[in-house]
Chains A and B, each alone.
Chain A
Amino acid sequence: MLTGGQILIECLKNEGVDVVFGYPGGAVLPIYDALYDSDILHVLTRHEQAAAHAADGYARATGRPGVCLATSGPGATNLVTGIATAAMDSVPMVAITGQVPTTLIGKDAFQEADITGITLPITKHNYLVRDVNELPRIVKEAFYIATTGRPGPVLIDIPRDVSAAKTEYRDPGPIGLRGYMPRLAGEPARIAAAAKLIAQAKRPVIYAGGGVINSGAAEYLKKLAETIMAPVAVTLMGIGCLPGDHPLFLGMLGMHGARYTNYAVNECDLLLAVGVRFDDRVTGKVESFASHAKVIHIDIDPAEFGKNVPVDISIAGDVRTVLVDLIKNLTCNPDPAWQEKIALWKKEYPLDYSREGLRPQAVIRELSDTLQGRRYRVTTEVGQNQMWAAQHFCITRPRSFISSGGLGTMGYGFPAAIGVQVACPDELVFDIAGDGSIQMNIQELTTAVNYRLPVNVAILNNGYLGMVRQWQELFYNRRYSQTELLNPDFVKVAEAFGAEGIRVEKIAEVGPALEQAIASSRPVVLDFIVEREENVMPIVPPGEAISRMLG
C-alpha cells in the first residue's frame, strides 16, 4: 500500500521527471513526505511564482515538461502568473497543488482557493482529484496533454486526504481521451496547394514563431528558407529557430521590428506563416498586414487559422511533420531582385544606436559577442531590456532565447534562468534584466545561492520602468507618471544574498565584467548603469500599420 503522495512520486518518475520546483505547506504535507524519500531533485524557490517560472524555463530549455508544486490557497494562487505565462507561450508544464480535504471543499476552509476554477482560462486542462485511485490516470493524462499537440500547462489539484489516503498502485494503462486527439501530419492536398503557391511567388517571406521551436523543426525551417531563398522574419518566441547570423535571417518583426524586416513583410507577395498566431504586437493594424501577400498558415492549432488575419491556405499539423512533407514538394525558384531589395533595405536602415556613453544596446552586443562560441542560454525580463535583447543578441540555436512573450511577465526572466540552469548545468545562463523587473523576483538570489546555480543577471539599470517611460515620452507628452525608480544598491543586494555583484559604468568595463561573471562559480549580478532615456527603436505606434514606424 502506498499513500497518494507516494503514488504521485511514482507517477512523476514514470514520466521521467527529475526535478520539481516548489514550496511546501499544510495541504501538500503528504506529498512532501513522499518526496523526502525520493531521488527527484526538489528546488525550493522563495516564492511560488518563481517555482512556476523556473519550471517554465526548464521546459523551454529542454522541451520536456516542467513541474511545479505548491500548497493550497495562497500557494496555489501564487502560481497563477506563472501558469498564465506558460499558457500564453504554449509551454508544457504540470502544476501540482494541494487542496483542502475533500470534505471541506466548498466550505471556505482555511487556505481553500478554487484553483481549478481560477486556472480554467489559463490552463490547457485541469483536474481536481477526488479519489486516490484516479491519481495514476490523471497524472498520465496531464503529462500527455501538456506535452502533445499545442503544448500548455495542466494543473492537478490534490486534496490532502487524497494524497494521504493509502491504496495499491496500479498502472493506469493506455490513455483513452475521446475528446483529445492531436493530429500530426498535414493534409497532402493542402501541402500540394501550398507548394504550388510558393512556386508562383516572386517575393516570399517566412514568418516563423514558437511553433517551429516547440516542434523541433528548426533544421527544416532552415532547409525551407534555403530551398526557396525566402528571408525569415521571426516573432519573439521564434528567436533561435534560424541562426541569427544566417544570411536569410531578418530578425524580429512587428512593433519593434527593424525597418528592413517590416518593409519585407509589407511588400512580400507570399507570407509563409509557420508556427505563429498573428499576435497584435506582430501585425499592427491587421488590415494592412502583408496586404499584398497570399498567406499560407501552418500550425498545430486549427483555431489559429483566420482568428486575426484571413489566410489563403491553412495546414493543420505538427510544424516539423508538415515542413518535412512540404519541402519534398518544393522546387527552387528564387528571384534575385527580391534578395537585392532586401539587402538594400538592410544597408539603408540598420538597427543602429549611439556609441556615446554606456548604451544598453552596446551592453547586449558585447554580451552576445562574448558568448559566441560558448554554450549559453539567455532569458529576459520584460520591457526595453527584452526588446533590446531581441534586437541585438545573436542567437544561434533553438531554446536558447527564453522570454515571456504573450503575457509579458515582469519578474519572469530570473526564476526562468534558475530553471534553465538546473536543466543545463554546463551552460552559461544570463538573465537580461531591467532594474524594475528584477525586483519582482529578486528573492530568488537565495535560491540560486542555495543550489549553487551560477546564473548571471545583467541589469540594464536605467532608473526607470523604461518601456512605460518610453510610451509616456512618445505618446503622453513626457509626463513620467510613476515610472522613475528609486532602486537599491544592486551590488550590495547581491552580496547580502551571498551572490557576487559588479557595477559597470563605462563601456570599457563591460568586457572585463562579463569575463569575471563568466569565470565566477557563483551567481553574479551585473549592474550596468546605462543611458537613462534611451528608447527602443523603431517602434510601430499603437494601431498603426507595421510599415509606419517611428525612429
Chain B
Amino acid sequence: MRSTYSVLVENNPGVLARVAGLFSRRGYNIDSLSVSRTDDPSISRMTIVVEGEKAVLEQVAKQLRKLVDVIRVHDITDEPHVDRELVLIKVNADSGTRGDIMQIVEIFRGRIVDVGEYTSIVEVTGDEGKINAIENALKPFGIMELVRTGKVAMQRGIQTVLVED
C-alpha cells in the first residue's frame, strides 16, 4: 500500500532531520518527501508518500505525531485531492531531434526552459503518471539528467489540513 500524508511541522532547525531520522531508524520506506514553508513562516508543510503494509502505515502516522515539532498529520490518500510533481529533464537535442522533442513536450503541456547547443531542458508538471510518461517518451533521445520535486498534494473543496482543525 501507499499513503500520502500532509504534515504540518514547526519551521525549526532540525525538524527535517527528526522526520527523516524517524523513517530511517524505524525502517519505513519513504517514496517521496517534499518540504517547504507555508504562508505562515513559522510552519512548514511536508508531503510524505510512504510505501508499506497497513499496520506499518498506521505506525508511521502515530510515530510522526509523537514528534514535538509535528503539529498535524493527515492521511489524505483516500480523500479527494490534487497532487502534483514537477520534473526537469535535460535531453540530448540537436537540429535533427529538436522538433520531435517539441512535439512531445506540447502533448504533455510542458515547456522547454533552456536550449543549449546539444541539449534542451524540459519542464513538466503533473501527477506521477504523467511525469513517468514523459520520462519514458523522452528516453529514446537520451536523458542526460533528471530532477523531480517529489509529490505535493492538497485536498479538494473546503477540506484543509491546517493547524486548528
- A: which residues have CB within 8 A of B? 116-117, 120-121, 124-125, 128, 145, 177-180, 301-303, 305-307
Instruction: Spot the interface stretch: B56-64, B76-84, B95-103.
Output: B56-64
Contact indicator B62/A303 (Cβ below 8 Å): yes
Contact indicator A303/B68 (Cβ below 8 Å): no
Contact indicator B18/A307 (Cβ below 8 Å): no
Beyond the given A128-B13, A301-B66, please list 9 additional residue pairs across the A-B interface where CB-CB is below 8 A. Answer: A120-B18, A121-B21, A125-B69, A179-B68, A179-B70, A180-B68, A303-B62, A305-B62, A306-B55
The residues of A that contact B21 with a CB separation of less than 8 Å are 120-121
Report B144-165 CB contacts with A as 1/0, cut-off 8 Å.
0000000000000000000100
Contact indicator A306/B58 (Cβ below 8 Å): yes
Contact indicator A177/B66 (Cβ below 8 Å): no
Contact indicator B66/A303 (Cβ below 8 Å): yes
B47 to chain A, nearest CB (A): 17
Once bound together, how far apart are the Cα atoms of A214 and B14, in whole Å?
A: 30
The residues of B that contact A117 with a CB separation of less than 8 Å are 17
B113 interface contact, C-beta 8 A: no
B1 to chain A, nearest CB (A): 16
Contact indicator B25/A121 (Cβ below 8 Å): yes
Once bound together, how far apart are the Cα atoms of A217 and B116, in whole Å?
A: 72
The residues of B that contact A116 with a CB separation of less than 8 Å are 14
B51 interface contact, C-beta 8 A: no
A277 to chain B, nearest CB (A): 13
Once bound together, how far apart are the Cα atoms of A302 and B59, in whole Å?
A: 9
B10 interface contact, C-beta 8 A: yes
**Contact A124 B62, CB 8 Å, known A117-B17, A178-B10, A179-B9:** no
Once bound together, how far apart are the Cα atoms of A121 and B18, in whole Å?
A: 8
B67 interface contact, C-beta 8 A: yes
Contact indicator B17/A178 (Cβ below 8 Å): no
Once bound together, how far apart are the Cα atoms of A215 and B17, in whole Å?
A: 31
**Contact A120 B71, CB 8 Å, known A178-B163, A301-B66, A303-B63:** no
The residues of A that contact B17 with a CB separation of less than 8 Å are 117, 120
The residues of A that contact B68 with a CB separation of less than 8 Å are 124-125, 145, 177, 179-180
CB-based nearest B residue for A150: B66
Once bound together, how far apart are the Cα atoms of A305 and B66, in whole Å?
A: 13
The residues of B that contact A121 with a CB separation of less than 8 Å are 21, 25
Contact indicator A303/B59 (Cβ below 8 Å): yes
Once bound together, how far apart are the Cα atoms of A116 and B14, in whole Å?
A: 9
A121 to chain B, nearest CB (A): 5
Once bound together, how far apart are the Cα atoms of A121 and B62, in whole Å?
A: 16
Residues of B1-42 contacting chain A, CB below 8 A: 9-10, 13-14, 17-18, 21, 25
Contact indicator A302/B71 (Cβ below 8 Å): no
CB-based nearest A residue for B64: A303
The residues of B that contact A120 with a CB separation of less than 8 Å are 14, 17-18, 21
Once bound together, how far apart are the Cα atoms of A178 and B58, in whole Å?
A: 22
Return the contact of A179 from the options B25, B59, B62, B71 (Cβ within 8 A).
B71
